[in-house]
Chains A and B, each alone.
Chain A
């Protein structure tokens, strides 16, 4: 009798574990960088090759660091939201694997929500940040520590529950 129950319990445990596994989205891989200071990097600015974009500038206030590209269609989904957020939050961009002309043209056509963008032509900054799917958005606290990473287009819900809640100190 005991033995029968043991088999049932083990089987049920296995089913529960696999069921939880099925609800997870395997294309969203959690980043080991969350909780750590943003990696140090330097790049040219998108606006001018003579100017420098330094990750050391990403502190002093809460900020969003958004990875985008002119070839990225999903980036258009979040673009309206980013335009609105740019009025309340420090928003910086990393232009990922793009050409200067096309990227600057894209900003002219759709609007530029960024205080400034780094020009990451060959995706090297992207590797430092563990970027694998554009767009991605990092939330940085005033100490320059990465507090959250969003993969894919940012939406209102994710902004409220993941980003705003952290800025307000409602969650860690």
Chain B
């Protein structure tokens, strides 16, 4: 009886250890699936898609995790076969410079134009005169002297 209890405890603890390892793998698995795009239904991740290809790729991701590959290695494995398109976050490269920086360039440009316009209007509103106006004023004042 005692022996059975000891074995039982051992199994229980070992099972616990297996479960814990499995949970870490599961978390990585889930996180990876959300990083990867299904190529059939292109606006869904591997986690969301019901396509058969997504099922095959999920199985491949699971196999690679079981082979102790790192997240980076798994992503590179799939990228080598399906290209950058499989990544939800495209890499920063010469081809993607416009994609990554475009919105910020447009934002900066718009902000700059807006600021200039506001400053100009502000200057006018606070009594500042343009060159043309100053010239006209000078002429008027001169006439007053005669």
* Other-chain residue from B40, B81, B84, B113 in contact with A7 (beta carbon distance below 8 A): B113
Tell me, yes or no, whether B138 is within 8 Å of chain A by CB.
no
A interface residue count range (under 10 / 10 to 19 / 20 to 34 / 35 or more)? 20 to 34
Given contacts A7-B113, A29-B39, contact A123 B82 (CB under 8 A): no
Q: What residues on B are CB-neighbors of A39 within 8 Å?
A: 81
Tell me, yes or no, whether A172 is within 8 Å of chain B by CB.
no
* Other-chain residue from B53, B85, B113 in contact with A3 (beta carbon distance below 8 A): B113
Main secondary structure of the interface of B (DSSP, over half): helix
Chain A, residue nearest B43 (CB): A26
Q: What residues on B are CB-neighbors of A123 within 8 Å?
A: 52-53, 56
- In the assembled complex, the CB of B41 is this many whole angstroms from the nearest CB of chain A, namely 10
Instruction: Count residues of chain B with CB under 8 A from any CB of chain A.
Output: 20
- In the assembled complex, the CB of B80 is this many whole angstroms from the nearest CB of chain A, namely 6
Stretch from A58-66, A79-87, A128-136, A161-169 at the B interface: A128-136
Tell me, yes or no, whether A19 is within 8 Å of chain B by CB.
no
* Other-chain residue from A32, A128, A132 in contact with B79 (beta carbon distance below 8 A): A32
Are B52's CB and A32's CB within 8 A?
A: no
Chain B, residue nearest A126 (CB): B56
Q: How far is the CA of A130 from the CA of B60 in the complex (A)?
A: 13
Q: What residues on A are CB-neighbors of B85 within 8 Å?
A: 29
Tell me, yes or no, whether B47 is within 8 Å of chain A by CB.
no
Given contacts A17-B98, A27-B42, A29-B39, contact A130 B82 (CB under 8 A): yes
A-B contact count (CB 8 A): 47
- In the assembled complex, the CB of A96 is this many whole angstroms from the nearest CB of chain B, namely 10
Main secondary structure of the interface of A (DSSP, over half): loop
Interface residues of B in 18-53 (CB under 8 A from A): 39-40, 42, 52-53
- In the assembled complex, the CB of A8 is this many whole angstroms from the nearest CB of chain B, namely 12
Instruction: Type the 1/0 row for A2-17, where 1 means its CB is closer than 8 Å to any CB of B.
Output: 0100010010001001
Given contacts A26-B42, A127-B60, contact A32 B98 (CB under 8 A): no
Given contacts A10-B109, A123-B53, contact A130 B42 (CB under 8 A): no
- 25 pairs from A and B in contact (CB 8 Å cutoff): A3-B113, A3-B116, A7-B113, A14-B106, A17-B98, A26-B42, A27-B42, A29-B82, A29-B83, A29-B85, A32-B79, A32-B83, A32-B84, A33-B81, A39-B81, A123-B52, A123-B53, A123-B56, A124-B56, A124-B60, A127-B57, A128-B81, A129-B81, A130-B83, A132-B39
Q: CB within 8 Å of B: which residues of A?
A: 3, 7, 10, 14, 17, 26-27, 29-33, 39, 97, 122-124, 126-130, 132-133
